[in-house]
Copies of this chain bind each other. A is one copy, B any other.
Amino acid sequence: MSNLRSGMDLGLGDRCSHIAFTRAKETFANRAGRPGSPILQVGASFANCMDYGAVKVAMTSDGIGSKIEVAERTGVYRTLGFDLVAMVVDDLVSNGFEPANLSNILDVDYLDVRVVDELMQGLADAAAAAQVAVTGGEIAELGARVRGYGPGMHFNWCATAIGLLPQGLRPVDGLALEPGDVLVALPSTGFRSNGFSLVRSVLGRCLGDAWHEQPLAGFDTWGMAALTPSIIYAPAVLGVLRSGVDVHGIAHITGGGIPDKLGRVLRVRGLGAVLDDLPPAPWFMAELQRMGGIDDRQAWHLWNMGTGMIVAVGRRDAERCAEILRREGHEARVAGRVVPERGISILGGGSREVRFDLRG
Contact = CB atoms under 8 A, between A and B. Distances in A.
A147 interface: yes
A158 interface: yes
A26 B126 CA distance: 12
Interface string A92-108: 00000010110111110
Contacts of A136: 48, 59-61, 160
Contact of A35 (B20, B100, B130, B147): B100
Given A23-B124, A133-B36, A135-B48, A142 B117 contact: no
Pick the most buried of A5, A136, A162: most chain B CB atoms within 10 A of its CB.
A136
Interface in A15-59: 15-17, 19-24, 26-31, 34-38, 47-48, 50, 52-55, 57, 59
B133 A19 contact: no
Q: How many copies of this chain sit in the oligomeric assembly?
A: 2
B26 A124 contact: yes
B19 A105 contact: no
A36 B120 CA distance: 20
B105 A63 contact: yes
12 contacts: A20-B106, A24-B134, A28-B135, A29-B133, A52-B100, A54-B54, A59-B103, A105-B160, A138-B158, A143-B197, A145-B147, A162-B162
Interface of A: 5, 9, 12-13, 15-17, 19-24, 26-31, 34-38, 47-48, 50, 52-55, 57, 59-63, 65-66, 68-69, 98, 100-101, 103-107, 110-111, 113, 116-117, 120-121, 123-124, 127-128, 130-148, 154, 156, 158, 160, 162-164, 197
| 4 tightest Cβ-Cβ pairs between the two chains A and B | A36-B100, A160-B160, A23-B120, A24-B134
